[in-house]
Amino acid sequence: MFVEIRDANLERYDVFIVGSGPAGTTLALQLAQRGRRVLILESGGRDYDAGVQSAFSSVYGRGHFDGIHWSSHWIRALGGTSGAWQGFCLPLLDRNMAHWPIGRAELDPYYRIAARILGRDPTFLTFQQDHLDGFRLRPFSTEPPVHFGDPEFGVPEDDPMIDIALNTTLAGLRPRLDRQGVDGIAIWSPGGGRIEARVAETQSIVLAAGGVGNAQILLASTDGTSAAVGNEADQVGRYLMEHPHSYHCGRVVVPSELALPEAPEPFGAQVPALVPDDSLHAQIGGRDVSVEWVETAPNLNDPHEVFLLDRIGPAARSFFLNVRSEMAADPVNRLTIGEGRDPAGLPRLRARCVIGADDLRAIDLCLEALGGRLVANGPGRLRILNDALYRGVTGGGHIMGTTRMGDDPRRSVVNRDCRVHGYRNLFVAGSSVFATGGYENPTLTIMALAARLGDHLADAA
């Protein structure tokens, strides 16, 4: 049910969730199923509004991504960034979570919950198949994306356990004097201005406002005389990550038998891709890389490709390659307070995010290894396009790592249960808690972590 924040009785809620995207909505649904009453605070309205987006999501950007990149993937509307999601979906591998305090096995039951919410057959959660020595076929699931602003997939408007306050921004957190929890929040709405509300001992707050928004709220929650909430160790905003994307960074000509097969029918719509096996993954530096093959018309202006087409004959097929890869978690890449404030009084942020040489070298080494495997298997060849790989690198709009999960409060912001270190009733949901990013689109893992957090909060009540 939609409520006006000025009229809402805040004492009736067990959990306040900040943000209505994949993390916030999945968490709300899981909590409601477990009998907990939830209020979602969403800065935007039912529909995307360019004026609201511009006013609330401005970021100053340096490095490989400008401010527009960050702001355009920080959506202020019901459903959050699911409104910009293209539907690519895949769980993390065990090796992608080697530096997390939890492992893939802990997420497996929640990946199945996320797949069910998305209406996808769970086959894609576990499917992989050897293809060429050193590589595995691991397609992306690409069923139509779910927009959580749509009642069919998001919060049903008649759900008695979940209320939503639109055009309502969490403007700050007030810590207890002993810094063991949060006992107050500031809420802003355009019609009601700023109000202060008490948070009871039995109530919890979950920040699910995205990789930028979660850090922004924590960094803003200070009186200027002490560290911001959750930032006692100067970790909030650090480890900012993206997924480097290099499109059309290689071309392949192979016989039909070396082309990528499709996953079995229950998998559903898919984008075929190869990933290194564990041995090759270690050889290229422990960064993960996914190489998508897209069939295309032969390039008859390229003498090398024409030679291969003639040599292979009628069975020859041409592909261009797109790469999605992993970026190292580096504390120097970070969000910090910038100049100016948004209408709710939250500070605008600066983003510094530089893709490292080793991140790009991992892609290069992976493609070099793939080319070698093709040579070893016959007349197929791969040509690496250097400019596209090194100078054309971009991102996937995947903002990760700014409230990192870890056991050590000196090097992370939240613990293995997504609770802010030292704060009894303050939690974070979403990709900002990722300790590392893998190469996979984060939406599925965001949802799995949110469902897991829902169970934790319900069990602890």
| Termini Cα distance of the chain | 23
366-408: pLDDT as tens digits: 999 999 999 999 889 999 999 999 999 999 999 999 999 999 9
286-324: pLDDT as tens digits: 999 999 999 999 999 999 899 999 999 999 999 999 999
Mark out the alpha helices in 250-376 (DSSP H runs). Answer: 278-283, 303-312, 357-376
Asked if 52 and 76 touch (Cβ cutoff 8 Å), the reply is yes
User: In Å, how far from its chain's centre is CA 302?
Assistant: 39
Domains of the chain by start residue, with CATH: 5-124+145-242+328-354+397-460 (3.50.50.60), 244-327+358-393 (no CATH)
SS3 114: helix
219-274: pLDDT as tens digits: 999 988 889 999 999 999 999 999 999 999 999 999 999 999 999 999 999 999 99
Q: Average pLDDT of the chain?
A: 96
SS3 377: coil
User: In Å, how far from its chain's centre is CA 423?
Assistant: 24
30-85: pLDDT as tens digits: 999 999 999 999 999 999 999 999 999 999 999 999 999 999 999 999 999 999 99
